[in-house]
Structure 1
Amino acid sequence: MQIKDFRIDQNLKEQTEHRTVVLPFACYQTTINQNIHGHIPLHWHDEIQFVRIVKGEAVFQVNEEKLTLRQGEGIFINSGCLHMAEDMNQSDCVYICLNVSPHFVVPRELFATHVVPYIQATNLPYLCMDSNQAWANNILDAIVNIYQSVHQQQPYYEIDVAMNLTFIWRNLIMNGFQLTYDQSEAVRSQRMKRMLGWIDNHYDEKITLDDIARAGHLSRSECCRYFKRMLNTTPMNYVIDYRLQKSLHLLQQSGSNVTEVAYKVGFNSTSYFIETFKKSMNMTPLAYKKKTTV
């Protein structure tokens, strides 16, 4: 079942538990524009993620890099990496999403040697998968096999899933990647997560650039460089966009009104809230509320 409302904690870690009743994984189809935000918001999780586009095209961002994926293509997103996705060209993009605990892809005895080096590598935040490459096509087909197994639930389907996951991981690592671990890159990632997490925890309060920089143990100028490099925006513009995203869920509640929502998400002026919301969403908050309130 598609997750339409991402629940993210104060560190932007997704709170969704990616598992079936007995297995530490989840596999479902996602239609990007059906998410409550209209896109898949920036988040991260401990699970590794595999995606196969089954319709349309989308722009994925992993850490600071953006890439376009089209029907039949896919992507591997490593554990702990910040990522988001947006529909491209109003294509109504649909993809199969497979999230799995790194501990589940190989037997326990092989985890330290065949999984840990890959999920800790700082030069492997993602891998694009093109069906023209044999290893990638094997993975893309296995994603579909897992999706079908989960939804058909034939007898012993869990064994089929486990076998396909090991098959996927073998095809991923058999390419002989030169793995590296850069401590400074790991520190940058953690600082970015701390700043984003601080914003999530304080977005409804008055926020200054100094506050955000302090959360990342950075100077003001270095803080701005982080946001420019990883999110292509300024810290304060990110705060505004984040407040707008938070307002969407509140506006959909039947008892809310625009003024209350504006102040709950940190705007100190209803008129400014309406102005920025309209600029971002191409409609007023009231029009959005009337459109989405059940």
Structure 2
Amino acid sequence: MWFICYPDITPVKELPFYTISVGMHLWQYPTPRENGYPYPQFLYSNKGSGKLITEGKTHIIPEHSIIFLPANVPHYYEAVTEDIWDVRWFVPYGDGTVALLKQFGFDRCRIFPITNLGALDEIHNKIHMAFQINTKESIFFSASYTYEFLFEFYRQYKEHSSPKSAQYRRRLTPLIEFIEHNFASEITQPMLCEQLHVSPQHLCRMFRECLNTRPMAYVTQIRLRHASELLAHSELSVSQISERVGFNNLNYFCKEFKRHSGMTPTTYRNRTLNQL
């Protein structure tokens, strides 16, 4: 599965923050850019690994990584794993973006671990939805999400250097993988506590420190991400998708989907299909 969104950004080109493009590819093909890319880029991947060559160095990109590439810097990247290198990208611009990246110290290539995949996917999905709707109003909303996305990347960049966060991340990694592989089944907080042999209070502390959310809220984020993909790329009914991603109550699924995306599952599907 893959998508690339390049909307008409005329309504927002005078704003300090806006997004040029978002996209994703389940197996990122080799990408050589001898003259770099004209805009700064963020790429992140949850599955598989890749290789990046830039600034005279070769970097192996492990799973759960974020890459920042400045504008106009020559680079080349490709998948290392044969079956999957799940890469999502975000291309911000505007005078405010350029100034903010400079303040962040993002003046050269940066590679750092993902500390909250759910937060990144949630904002990425919001921009993607806004681009799919493709109205003047939705493009304006995408500009506000640009600012939010930049700070989320920076927050994760700063967070990974915390010793406590690093310790918690190591312990949470197998649990995150468990959730990703079992989201369609029943998952309860006691089950998650049992996986790590910790109390509910300590589990909540770990999630809050590393992912800035609660354990079951994170499970919901993962389920909604998979639901969005099925709505856009399958013919299953909303009820079937609700069950397929682990919701036992259709009304609750619709309520949570609208709370996170701003629209009902049916509206999201119709607007997505109209853009295909």
- Counting matched residue pairs gives 185
Equivalent position of 1:146 in the other structure? none
Shift of 1:202: 0.8
Structure number with higher helix proportion: 2
Change (3 A) 1:239 1:126: closer
Deviation at 1:262, TM superposition (A): 0.5
Shift of 1:217: 4.1
Residue 185 of structure 1: how far off its partner (Å):
5.1
Letter of the 2:220 counterpart: I
> 2:143 matched to 1:91?
yes
Q: C-alpha separation between the residues in 2 aligned to 1:28 and 1:213?
A: 46
For residues 174-185 of structure 1, what are the structure 2 equivalents within 5 Å? none
1:1-294 pair list within 5 angstroms: 4-5=23-24, 7=26, 16-17=27-28, 19-20=30-31, 43=46, 46=62, 49-52=67-70, 53-55=92-94, 70=100, 75=106, 77-82=110-115, 85=120, 86=123, 90-91=142-143, 93=146, 126=157, 186-293=166-273, 294=276
Aligned 8 A contact 1:42 1:83 in 2: no
Spell out, residue by residue over 1:129-186, the C-alpha distance to the aligned partner (whole angstroms, 9 max, x if none). xxxxxxxxxxxxxxxxxxxxxxxxxxxxxxxxxxxxxxxxxxxxxxxxxxx995x654
Question: Taking structure 1 as reference, are residues 81 and 243 closer, same or farther at Cα in structure 2, changes over 3 Å only?
Answer: closer
Deviation digits for residues 179-205 of structure 1 (CA, Å, limit 9, x no counterpart): x995x6543221122222111111111
- The ranges of structure 1 where at least 4 consecutive aligned residues each deviate by more than 6 angstroms after the TM superposition are none
Query: Aligned residues: percent identity?
Result: 22
Equivalent residue letter for 1:194: P
By how many angstroms is 1:215 displaced?
3.2
Unaligned runs of 5+ in 1: 8-15, 33-39, 59-67, 95-124, 128-179
The change in CA–CA distance for 1:185 and 1:243 in structure 2 (over 3 A counts) is closer
* Secondary structure of the corresponding residue to residue 260 of structure 1: helix
Indicate if the aligned counterparts of 2:41 and 2:69 stay in contact, CA closer than 8 A.
no
Q: In structure 2, do the counterparts of structure 1 residues 290 and 197 end up closer, same or farther at CA, with 3 Å as the change threshold?
A: same
The 2-side partners of 1:41 and 1:28 are apart by 19
Change (3 A) 1:30 1:235: farther
1:40-99: CA deviation from partner (whole Å, max 9, x where unpaired): 8884852672244533767xxxxxxxxx983666636444343564479642749xxxxx
In the alignment, the residues of structure 1 paired with residue 247 and residue 228 of structure 2 have an alpha-carbon distance, to the nearest angstrom, of 14
Give the 3 Å change call, closer, same or farther, for CA 248–274 of structure 1 in structure 2. Answer: same
Q: CA deviation at 1:235?
A: 0.6
Name structure 2 gaps, 5 residues minimum: 5-20, 48-60, 71-91, 128-139, 148-155
CA contact (8 A) 2:190 2:200 kept: yes
Per-residue deviation, residues 18-42 of structure 1 (Å, max 9, x unmatched) = 854799xx9696889xxxxxxx888
Measure how far apart 1:243 and its partner are.
Answer: 0.9
Larger radius of gyration: 1
What one-letter code is carried by the residue in structure 2 that aligns with 1:126?
A: Y
* C-alpha distance in structure 2 between counterparts of 1:223 and 1:278, whole Å: 27
- Residues 241, 22 of structure 1: CA spacing in aligned structure 2 closer, same or farther, 3 A cutoff? closer
